Structure 1
């Protein structure tokens, strides 16, 4: 079984990649660039899958993170790819991921401090 701390790293890496891929873009640039859209959607899938794989105890300890919504988005992206709402994806990238990144970094700090 994979160490759940690696899922935390996966989430952070996927957020950072998404930020890198969309840097300097507005919604129109994003929506017109299929390569970036595909990369962002893939990284959102990774975030959702990694959140799903975290132990229940971790998810319960940090209830301010919308774990179910994150996993739910992953399910939508996987199963309804061609019906994905790009405006919703863009809103998540710009407005939700920065907050999630801060919270996941907090979890990482807490885990690192408890393992010393």
Structure 2
């Protein structure tokens, strides 16, 4: 459980890093698609999130099946191994729509397992 707490905190920290990127570079898809630095900054955090997800216990992932854990880990693999080219629009959708949801859910899970 302690390892899960560390991993969930890491995921939340990476979500915060993505939010900082959006604040710094702007919440505009066109700017994102034109900025290699913006894309790589966010992709690095997605990679770290995927790594942390891969190390979460079965208990956490099984108890929270509403989160697409395998998809998150799989997207990390796509970015790292560059299977084809990373779809920049999908990356944008991920950082603007899915990351905030993941952050919120990981925060809830963290509270739940901390109170056990």
Please give the TM-score of this superposition, normalised by the length of structure 1.
Answer: 0.91
Post-superposition shift, 1:4?
2.6
What count of residue pairs does the alignment treat as equivalent?
113
CA RMSD between the two structures? 1.5
Aligned residue number for residue 29 of structure 1: 31
The Cα offsets for residues 20-64 of structure 1, whole Å up to 9 and x where unpaired, read as 101232111112222121110000011111011001111001111
**Cα distance change on mapping 1:41 and 1:87 into 2, 3 Å:** same
Provide Cα deviations, 1:52-98, integer angstroms capped at 9, x if missing partner. 10011110011111111101101111111771111000001111111
- Compare relative contact order (CA 8 Å, sep 6+) and give the higher one, 1 or 2: 2
Q: 1:42 maps to what in 2? A: 44
TM-score of the aligned structures, taking structure 2 as reference length? 0.91
**Stretches of 4+ aligned residues off by more than 4 angstroms:** none
Question: Runs of 5+ in structure 2 lacking a partner?
Answer: none
